[in-house]
Every structure is written in C-alpha cells, then in structure tokens.
Amino acid sequence: MQKHGLRGMLIGLVVIGFGSLGYADYPPEVSGLRIDEVQYSEDPIGTSPHHQSFVDTMGGIVTHIEGFRIYLQDPNEMDGWGAICIKDFSLDGALGDLQAGDWVGLTDVYVYEKRETTFLEYEEKWDNTDPENPVRLNPNLGFVVGTSDDPVPTPVGLTAADLAAPIEDPVDFWNVVDRHSEPYESMIVTLQDVTVGAMGLGKADDNYVLSDGTGSAWASDYLQTPEGWPDEPYFDPRIETGLHLDSVTGIVEQYYKQRDTYGWDYYQLLTRTPDDIVVPEPGTVSLLLVGLVLAGRRRRAAQLDR
C-alpha cells in the first residue's frame, strides 16, 4: 500500500494524455500482474520473486526492439521497477510484427533471470521427463496488442550516482556497493552534462565511464552496433576519453557473473542509436571556453586587488 497508495491516488486525479490512455489506465485487453509486480525485489542481488515461474502481465509500451529482444515500459511506473525485456524465442518469431508504441500484454510467459537481468521468455516450455509423453507447461502462452501508436515514455532523468559504477575490490572483482540502481533495470533513462572517462571496461571490454560531478556510471554502445552483436568491443565512433556530452540516453541493464578468480556485478546504460549520444554544438563549446577564460580572468583580477 505504501508503494502505490498515495501516488496512485494522485495519478488518478491527474489524467495525462497517453495516446488513447491516461497515466492511470491500462488497455482493457490486458490483464495480470503489472511489470513492477514482476520486477520488484528485495533479494540481495535483485532476483525477481517470480523467477522460473509463469505469469500473466499487463505489460507496457514497446520502447525498443533489438533482434529478439523487446523492451516494455509501463508509463504508470516511472519511479522505478516499471520496465522489462521480452526475449522472443518462439520458433515462428511470433512477436516479430511488434513496433515501438504498441502496448503489449502477455499470458503464461516465463520469468527468468539471466545475469540477474529479469527477462520474459516468450516460448513454449515443456516437461520432457517422459520423452514419450512430454507435458506442455504453459499452454496459454500468448500476447495481445492493447493499443498502438502510443508515445514511448519520456526517459527518466538520473545522475551518474543513481547508476553508480562498480568498484574493483579485490583485484579483478568489479562489484557495485548496493542495489540502489536495480529499480531502473530495462527502463529508458538519460544522464546530462557528462564527461567520458576510462574506456575498455567490463566483461566485454566495451564499457566506458560517464561522470557528472555526482559520481560515475558505466555505459556501452553494443546495442547500436551496425551489424548485430559485435565480435570485438564496440564504441560509438565519437566516444573518446575526455569528451564532454550534453546527454546520454539508453536502457539500463544489469550484468552479474561471479567466478573464483574474477567477478562482475554492475549496471550499464546501453545506448540504442547514435542519436542517444548528444555532443555539444561547436558554438556551444566555444562559448563555454570563452566563459571559462573570462571567469579565470575575473578571478585573477580579484586576487591582484587583494
């Protein structure tokens, strides 16, 4: 009740146009759990309480499609826990016609944690204990498009500290300090006024640091590779250490893997297209430099007057 009571009442009073929907509405064609009810977790590493079970979910709006990955976000849950990724493992590519802006609900879909990112696996699941008589575990697997052409939810504005980068301790073990970034998993977020730091980090050597004065976060561009999943670490061609960026937008993903001699536990902002990375206009940079020079002169003059 604490999580949704007052906020739900306020949202119910203020109806914001969302295609044919208001913020407090769901398409009548969808039913089941909200995405935040699937995602919300108090587990030490963020595992969904519905891990390895089948659920019906009211789903959300398609925000991005990357191969067999389809990202959904519920516009009613912009504070956190409101997004999730479907993996379309169906043999016939059943979800292949979905587009950004479709509100998709699902039935009898399998919840599974992969590297501690929560996914909905869209495929038939079978119990083959008796090979002669396999048993279908999710006979009601299906989906429905409640509405189409809804606007993709506006990215949630965060600071780098909200997506705090991991710390190496001990050597070769890169782990976050806590789970405060977990609510943003699979959500579209944006960081503003950031500077690129170290590159070549993470399990695939494709992460780079973004700093904004509040702290540092990790980002990666592997979702926007020109020809699918990269064989080598991929960076947007503009990314280089020291580059200042107006903003970086993308989808939050968790990666978790622990072994005897190394370990990974971190959150990363995944850019989707080159447009997600906004480099300052040359004139803006020039004005900024002029401002810094003038500010330096004023400080120098003030010091000489003392």
- pLDDT band at residue 225 under the 50/70/90 scheme: confident
Domain co-membership, 49 together with 113: yes
Domain co-membership, 163 together with 278: yes
Question: Would you state the pLDDT for residue 229?
Answer: 59
Give Cβ neighbours of residue 282 (< 8 Å, ≥ 6 apart).
Answer: none
In a domain, 113, yes or no: yes
Q: Could you tell me if residue 98 is left (phi over 0), alpha (psi between -120 and 50 degrees) or otherwise beta? A: beta
- pLDDT band at residue 33 under the 50/70/90 scheme: very high
Question: Would you state the pLDDT for residue 135?
Answer: 97
In a domain, 301, yes or no: no
Is the confidence at residue 49, as pLDDT, over 90?
yes
Question: Would you state the pLDDT for residue 116?
Answer: 87
Domain co-membership, 65 together with 109: yes
pTM assigned to the model: 0.83
CATH code at position 46: 2.40.50.140
Domain co-membership, 200 together with 103: no
Domain co-membership, 112 together with 164: no
Report, as an integer, the average pLDDT of 210-227: 91
Report, as an integer, the average pLDDT of 1-9: 39
Domain co-membership, 166 together with 214: yes
| % of the chain surpassing 90 pLDDT | 75
- The lowest-confidence range among 44-48, 201-205, 206-210 is 44-48
- Spatial distance between the Cα atoms of 181 and 86, rounded to a whole number of angstroms: 20
Domain co-membership, 228 together with 109: no
In a domain, 90, yes or no: yes
- pLDDT band at residue 226 under the 50/70/90 scheme: low
Question: Would you state the pLDDT for residue 230?
Answer: 64
Question: Would you state the pLDDT for residue 1?
Answer: 35
- What's the domain count of the chain? 2
- Spatial distance between the Cα atoms of 152 and 251, rounded to a whole number of angstroms: 13
Is the confidence at residue 263, as pLDDT, over 50?
yes
Report, as an integer, the average pLDDT of 154-179: 96
pLDDT tens digits along 93-126: 899 999 999 999 999 999 999 998 999 999 999 9
pLDDT tens digits along 279-303: 998 865 444 554 444 445 444 444 4
- pLDDT band at residue 186 under the 50/70/90 scheme: very high
- Spatial distance between the Cα atoms of 35 and 84, rounded to a whole number of angstroms: 7
Is the confidence at residue 305, as pLDDT, over 60?
no
In a domain, 14, yes or no: no
The domain boundary, picked from 147, 169, 199, lies at 147
Domain co-membership, 237 together with 264: yes
In a domain, 298, yes or no: no
Gyration radius of the chain over CA positions: 22
Residue for token pair 């960076």:
235
Is the confidence at residue 14, as pLDDT, over 80?
no
In a domain, 130, yes or no: yes
Report, as an integer, the average pLDDT of 134-148: 96
Domain co-membership, 251 together with 180: yes
Residue for token pair 């020291």:
242
Domain co-membership, 129 together with 196: no
The domain boundary, picked from 81, 115, 147, lies at 147
Domain that holds residue 184: 156-283
| CB atoms closer than 10 angstroms to residue 177 | 11
Domain co-membership, 54 together with 77: yes
In a domain, 164, yes or no: yes
Domain co-membership, 126 together with 237: no
The domain boundary, picked from 120, 147, 174, lies at 147
| % of the chain surpassing 70 pLDDT | 83
In a domain, 8, yes or no: no
